[in-house]
Amino acid sequence: MSDEIPPEKKGLFESLRGLAASLVAISHTRLDFLSTDLEDEWERLISLLVTMLVALFCLGIGVILTTVLIVAAFWSSYRLSVLTGLTVLFLAAGAISWTRAARQRTNRPRLFSASMAELAKDHQQLNTRP
């Protein structure tokens, strides 16, 4: 005699075990997607910060040297006018840059958008099954 249960006689517990295994597999896949999204976002953020710091440093040095050069060129005649004009120019450029950065920050893609899309697909598929 065999203790093996025929396939057509498997009961509720076997079905629940299969469902639990499927849920664990789906959860594992989704968490893998989530961790990949998080790693990608972290790498993008670090790369952006390093690039921005290098750019700000180089632009800052360039602006200081340009300002000194222009003021030195007009030192004897129009030094106050040149300093006033350069001050207004740099303040306006800073304000415009600040506004653009704020706009870019609000228009960034939503965090975990790919994972959320996959979870929405899963939810839709589970709701449409008979």
Q: Look at residue 56 in the predicted model and tell me its pLDDT.
A: 87
Is the torsion defined by CA of 73, 79, 85, 87 positive or negative? positive
* Per-residue pLDDT at 7 exceeds 60: no
Structure tokens at 56: 């700000």
Percent of the chain whose predicted confidence (pLDDT) is above 90: 0
The gap from C-alpha 43 to its chain's centroid, in whole angstroms, comes to 9
Q: How far is it, in rounded angstroms, from Cα 77 to Cα 86? A: 16
Structure tokens at 120: 């929405």
- Length of the chain equals 130
Q: Look at residue 9 in the predicted model and tell me its pLDDT.
A: 59
Digit-coded pLDDT (tens) for 65-83 = 888 888 888 888 888 888 8
Q: Look at residue 8 in the predicted model and tell me its pLDDT.
A: 58
